[in-house]
């Protein structure tokens, strides 16, 4: 056994993401990098460095999956159901097969469909237009059945059974303490019912796959957030279809250079990969399938809606005594699943007595799918709204009420301690930046036709701690240049840039001397890009890979200074004698003394600490203006204060927060999927009728990062940032609207019509 090995080679460890616990087996690193200094100014990490791919993206030279045009490329289109629920009596492909340019027609042999847009088959033709014509020529004979596309109706006793069983999925339940005792201790109890709408992910790049089935390799270009997971799934499906074919990770390669947004709808396979591969095998040609905007809206997932019934009790002195939640969220025609509606009630504040129950509801509509902070925006909209109302009832400032119930440990101060928590700093700096002391002391107490108000929301993201086991390889060349590679994907968050920053920091070189290669299953297995896990997963692996690679130069330095290798260490690219750090060589000098053209090594991320919970936190504040004539709400200023550990690149990090805030405001005020109960169709699967917040309506956004650097979670002290900024927006906006108008809107989105009706009701009530 290597004398430097400090851990057993493989262990089982727990990964926490979005409130779920997953046990995985990982191979441990030989050596772990030392934890970076807490506050020391570093040379590259913590600096604002433009994205590596920025020029390619703004000039249009960046290649996304749909931009590749190999010789002989043909185009695939999908045959989709026009019915919300029906048995399939016949699928006639004969006319489609005769269409000009058609190369292949594929039937998926379905016996029923469960929503409009459900896939029945596919065609491949020389042009997209020919493929679309062929799809229209496919004749499908349906035996229509009753359907339901609305959650309220699906929960009724006589509702059509979407999957041949009850429309309510298996409930998720959680209890701590004694809920009835908690309410008995309360001086004030508030109840409320809240609804949120279905949100479509709407990335700028719809789901796209291209397959080239060759003699020696099956190459798939795919727009995905999870290269390794998708590759594994595609191999399994294709092997079941072609049992006599040799299909494995040795000859099925998955690639993705750039992703035009995903937000969760590109987690795992999108379903196009295997269809494109089958068409490619049949036609002996490369096949590209790119979904339209409408198809992406119907069939690539959504953030589910929710109904939440909340009950919160508190003492007049501000201590929470009990929290009860009953929740439902529609999951479409999926076989299982429900968004996690528990984090606000279970985790955010100190409370000894909690009882939660939530479950999914099946509909004849496209399935729900993880959407930037799954479950959390819905949960925090409801909880933070009712919390503000309870603060008003006990005559306590909403910020003071939250601070009064500040938790230092997980599960409402009853579980393991947090690895770090900088939320108090977020409260203080965020309140100062928004001018919290200037808010209306009485809701609606703002004169004029345009009322202004200020609101806030706390947030916690129960993920972002990182996935152990992610692997990075490093090449050190004799000219001093460095190459690092991993199967992790660049989804628009700046992964390539921060990997280069970390490598340059640890090697003591210029960042321009670091080349980064990612997005290919032929590279070492990286980590998925979801759950705000990527940075905290891959950057520690970069550091450990550098350590292992530099160790291959230890014999050179040991001979030079006549010491044994165990007397050496590396720091900032210098291999030196531990007891006398002045005696050492930079790797650029040491590598000149080896015969190889390069030195290669690999490293992986170690396990998360067992005794701590690694969550991220934040506090959001905003000021809104409401036109009482039109009912229109405008967010004037938004302050997002976040605790996400060490910030590797403030420039790309702020960009993440800005995008999330704009998305969140759209969710709060304008976005919603609209279904026709008579036809089962989505009526607004486009950017005209599904209103995303335009940049012209984006507010001034002030981003604040806490100074907290996580001391135990990983060697860089980083935590996730991709999803947390989405979580607090709806609750923050709703509370600001209440402060401005005195109108509590409990059903998202908060449209002008709802505001006008609320203002009218309030006026009539006061007259």
- Report CA Rg, the chain: 28
Whether residue 621 has pLDDT greater than 90 = yes
Whether residue 457 has pLDDT greater than 50 = yes
Q: 538 and 583 share a domain?
A: yes
Whether residue 193 has pLDDT greater than 60 = yes
Whether residue 568 has pLDDT greater than 80 = yes
Q: In degrees rounded to 5, what are phi and psi of residue 621?
A: -135, 145
Burial (CB < 10 A; 0-12, 13-18, 19+), residue 58, is exposed
Q: 617 and 653 share a domain?
A: yes
pLDDT of residue 467: 86
pLDDT of residue 374: 96
Q: 637 and 549 share a domain?
A: no
Dump the DSSP string for 124-188: EESSHHHHHHHHHH-EEEEEE------HHHHTSTT---TTSS-SB---EEEEES-HHHHHHH-SE
pLDDT band at 18 (very low <50, low <70, confident <90, very high): low
Q: Which of 268, 299, 330 is the last residue of a domain?
A: 299
Q: 50 and 165 share a domain?
A: no
Task: State the average pLDDT over residues 63-82.
Answer: 98
Question: For residue 580, what is the DSSP state?
Answer: E
Residue 638 sits in a domain whose CATH number is 3.30.365.10
Q: 551 and 625 share a domain?
A: no
pLDDT of residue 440: 97
Residue 611 burial (CB count, 10 A): 8
Of the candidates 643, 607, 605, 641, the residue with the CA atom closest to the CA atom of residue 418: 643
Whether residue 767 has pLDDT greater than 60 = no
Report pLDDT digits (tens) over 405-430: 999 999 999 999 999 999 999 999 99
Question: How much of the chain, in percent, has pLDDT values that exceed 70?
Answer: 96
Residue with tokens 């200094």: 37
The partner residues of 342 in beta bridges, in order of sequence, read none
**Alpha helices (runs of H) in 609-705, residue ranges in sequence order:** 650-669
Q: 494 and 595 share a domain?
A: yes
Q: How many domains is the chain built from? A: 4
Task: State the average pLDDT over residues 569-585.
Answer: 96
Burial (CB < 10 A; 0-12, 13-18, 19+), residue 164, is exposed
SS3 at position 324: strand
CA 617, CA 645: separation in Å to the nearest integer?
A: 10
CA distances from 107 to 236, 278, 472, 496 (A): 20, 11, 41, 40
Tell me the pTM.
0.96
Write out the two tokens for 19.
């409130």
The overall average pLDDT reported for the chain is 95
Report pLDDT digits (tens) over 216-261: 999 999 999 999 999 999 999 999 999 999 999 999 999 999 999 9
pLDDT of residue 7: 39
pLDDT of residue 37: 87
CA 497, CA 538: separation in Å to the nearest integer?
A: 12
Q: 224 and 110 share a domain?
A: yes
Of the candidates 84, 155, 156, 75, the residue with the CA atom closest to the CA atom of residue 116: 84
Task: State the average pLDDT over residues 211-220.
Answer: 97
Contact between 417 and 409 under an 8 Å Cβ cutoff? The reply is: yes
pLDDT band at 31 (very low <50, low <70, confident <90, very high): confident
* Residue 388 falls inside a structural domain: yes
Task: State the average pLDDT over residues 700-722.
Answer: 96
Whether residue 319 has pLDDT greater than 70 = yes
pLDDT of residue 752: 98
Q: Which residues of 427-452 are buried (b: 16+ CB within 10 A; e: fewer)?
A: bbbbbebbebeebbeebbebeeeebb
Contact between 598 and 588 under an 8 Å Cβ cutoff? The reply is: no
Q: 591 and 709 share a domain?
A: no
Q: Which of 299, 325, 344 is the last residue of a domain?
A: 299
Residue 287's domain spans which residues? 71-145+206-299
Whether residue 4 has pLDDT greater than 50 = no
Residues 6 or more apart in contact with residue 755 via CB below 8 angstroms: 626, 631, 632, 633, 737, 741, 743, 745
CA 176, CA 620: separation in Å to the nearest integer?
A: 28
* Residue 2 falls inside a structural domain: no
Rounded to 10°, the helix 534-551/495-507 angle is: 30
Of the candidates 259, 283, 281, the residue with the CA atom closest to the CA atom of residue 270: 259
Q: 137 and 157 share a domain?
A: no
Contact between 426 and 617 under an 8 Å Cβ cutoff? The reply is: yes
Pairing outcome for strands 471-477 and 598-604: antiparallel
Task: State the average pLDDT over residues 46-71.
Answer: 96
pLDDT band at 2 (very low <50, low <70, confident <90, very high): very low
* Residue 1 falls inside a structural domain: no
Task: State the average pLDDT over residues 473-485.
Answer: 97
pLDDT band at 1 (very low <50, low <70, confident <90, very high): very low
Residue with tokens 């006589």: 158
pLDDT band at 706 (very low <50, low <70, confident <90, very high): very high
Q: 281 and 132 share a domain?
A: yes
Write out the two tokens for 662.
């704009």
How far does CA 199 lie from the centroid of its chain? 14
* Residue 559 falls inside a structural domain: yes
Q: Which of 345, 361, 396 is the last residue of a domain?
A: 396
Rounded to 10°, the helix 272-283/227-241 angle is: 50
Q: 126 and 218 share a domain?
A: yes
Computed from CA positions of residues 124, 130, 131, 136, in that sequence, does the dihedral angle turn out positive or negative? negative
pLDDT band at 10 (very low <50, low <70, confident <90, very high): low
* Residue 408 falls inside a structural domain: no
* Residue 20 falls inside a structural domain: yes
Q: Which residues of 548-557 are buried (b: 16+ CB within 10 A; e: fewer)?
A: bbbbbbbebb
Residue with tokens 């709060």: 668
Residues 6 or more apart in contact with residue 640 via CB below 8 angstroms: 430, 618, 620, 657, 661, 701, 702, 703, 704, 725, 728
Write out the two tokens for 32.
């772990």
CA 526, CA 604: separation in Å to the nearest integer?
A: 9
* Residue 633 falls inside a structural domain: yes
Task: State the average pLDDT over residues 104-124.
Answer: 97
CA 557, CA 578: separation in Å to the nearest integer?
A: 12
Whether residue 3 has pLDDT greater than 60 = no
Residue 288 sits in a domain whose CATH number is 3.90.1170.50
Q: 437 and 454 share a domain?
A: yes
* Residue 515 falls inside a structural domain: yes
pLDDT of residue 20: 61
pLDDT of residue 16: 63
Whether residue 749 is preceded by a cis peptide bond, meaning omega within 30 degrees of 0, is: yes
pLDDT of residue 335: 74
């Amino acid at each position: 056994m290597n004398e430097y090995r400090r851990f057993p080679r493989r262990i089982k460890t727990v990964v926490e993401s979005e409130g779920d616990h997953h046990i995985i087996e990982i191979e441990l690193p030989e050596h772990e990098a030392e934890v970076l200094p807490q506050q020391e100014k570093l040379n590259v990490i913590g600096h604002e460095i433009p994205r590596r791919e920025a020029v390619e993206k703004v000039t249009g030279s960046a290649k996304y999956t749909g931009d590749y045009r190999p010789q002989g490329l043909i185009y695939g289109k999908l045959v989709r159901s026009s019915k919300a629920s029906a048995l399939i009596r016949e699928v006639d492909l004969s006319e489609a097969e005769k269409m000009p340019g058609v190369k292949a027609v594929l039937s998926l042999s379905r016996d029923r469909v469960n929503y409009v847009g459900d896939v029945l088959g596919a065609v491949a033709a020389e042009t997209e237009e020919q493929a679309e014509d062929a799809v229209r020529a496919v004749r499908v004979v349906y035996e229509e059945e009753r359907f339901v596309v609305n959650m309220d109706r699906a929960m009724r006793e006589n509702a059509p059974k979407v999957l041949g069983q009850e429309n309510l999925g298996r409930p998720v339940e959680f209890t701590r303490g004694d809920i009835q005792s908690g309410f008995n201790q309360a001086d004030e109890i508030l109840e409320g019912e809240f609804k949120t709408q279905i949100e479509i992910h709407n990335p700028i790049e719809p789901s796209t796959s291209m397959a080239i089935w060759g003699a020696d390799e099956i190459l798939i270009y795919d727009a995905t957030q999870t290269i390794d997971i998708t590759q594994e799934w595609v191999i399994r499906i294709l092997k079941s279809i072609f049992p006599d074919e040799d299909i494995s990770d040795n000859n099925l390669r998955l690639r993705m250079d750039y992703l035009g947004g995903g937000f969760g709808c590109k987690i795992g396979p999108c379903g196009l990969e295997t269809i494109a591969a089958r068409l490619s095998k049949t036609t002996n040609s490369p096949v590209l399938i790119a979904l339209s905007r409408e198809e992406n809206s119907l069939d690539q997932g959504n953030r589910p809606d929710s109904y939440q019934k909340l009950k919160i009790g508190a003492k007049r002195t501000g201590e929470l005594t009990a929290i009860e939640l009953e929740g439902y969220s529609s999951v479409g025609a999926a076989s299982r699943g429900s968004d996690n509606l528990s984090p606000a009630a279970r985790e955010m504040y100190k409370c000894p007595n909690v009882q939660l129950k939530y479950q999914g509801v099946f509909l004849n509509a496209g399935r729900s799918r993880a959407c930037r902070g799954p479950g959390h925006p819905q949960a925090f909209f409801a909880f933070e709204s009712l919390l503000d109302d309870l603060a008003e009832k006990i005559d306590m400032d909403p910020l003071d009420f939250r601070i009064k119930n500040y938790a230092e440990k997980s599960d409402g101060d009853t579980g393991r301690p947090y690895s770090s928590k900088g939320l108090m700093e977020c409260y203080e700096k965020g309140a100062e930046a928004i001018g919290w002391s200037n808010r209306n002391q009485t809701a609606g107490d703002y004169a004029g036709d345009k009322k202004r108000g200020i609101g806030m929301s706390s947030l916690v993201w129960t993920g972002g701690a990182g996935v152990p086991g992610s692997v990075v390889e490093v090449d050190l060349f004799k000219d001093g240049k460095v190459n690092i590679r991993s199967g992790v994907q660049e989804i628009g968050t700046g992964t390539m840039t921060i990997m280069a920053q970390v490598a340059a920091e640890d090697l003591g070189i210029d960042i321009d001397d670091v080349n980064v290669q990612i997005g290919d299953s032929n590279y070492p297995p990286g980590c998925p890009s979801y759950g705000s896990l990527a940075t905290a997963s891959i950057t520690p692996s970069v550091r450990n890979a550098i350590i292992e690679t530099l160790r291959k130069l230890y014999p050179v330095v040991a001979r030079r200074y006549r010491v044994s290798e165990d007397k050496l260490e590396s720091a900032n690219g210098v291999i030196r004698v531990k007891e006398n750090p002045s005696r050492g060589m930079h790797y650029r000098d040491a590598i000149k003394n080896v015969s190889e053209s390069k030195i290669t090594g690999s490293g992986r991320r170690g396990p998360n600490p067992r005794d701590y919970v690694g969550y991220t936190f934040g506090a959001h504040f905003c000021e809104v203006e409401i036109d009482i004539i039109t009912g229109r709400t405008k967010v004037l200023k938004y302050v997002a204060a976040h605790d996400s550990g060490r910030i590797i690149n403030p420039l790309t990090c702020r960009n993440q927060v800005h995008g999330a805030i704009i998305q969140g405001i759209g969710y709060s005020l304008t976005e919603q999927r609209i279904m026709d109960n008579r036809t089962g169709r989505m009526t607004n699967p486009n950017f005209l009728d599904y209103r995303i917040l335009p940049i012209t309506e984006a507010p001034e956004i002030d981003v604040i990062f806490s100074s907290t650097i996580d001391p135990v979670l990983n060697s860089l002290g980083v935590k996730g940032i991709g999803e947390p900024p989405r979580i607090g927006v709806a609750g923050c906006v709703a509370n600001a609207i209440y402060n401005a108008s005195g109108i509590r809107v409990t059903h998202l989105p908060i449209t002008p019509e709802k505001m006008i009706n609320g203002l009218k009701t309030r006026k009539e009530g006061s007259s």
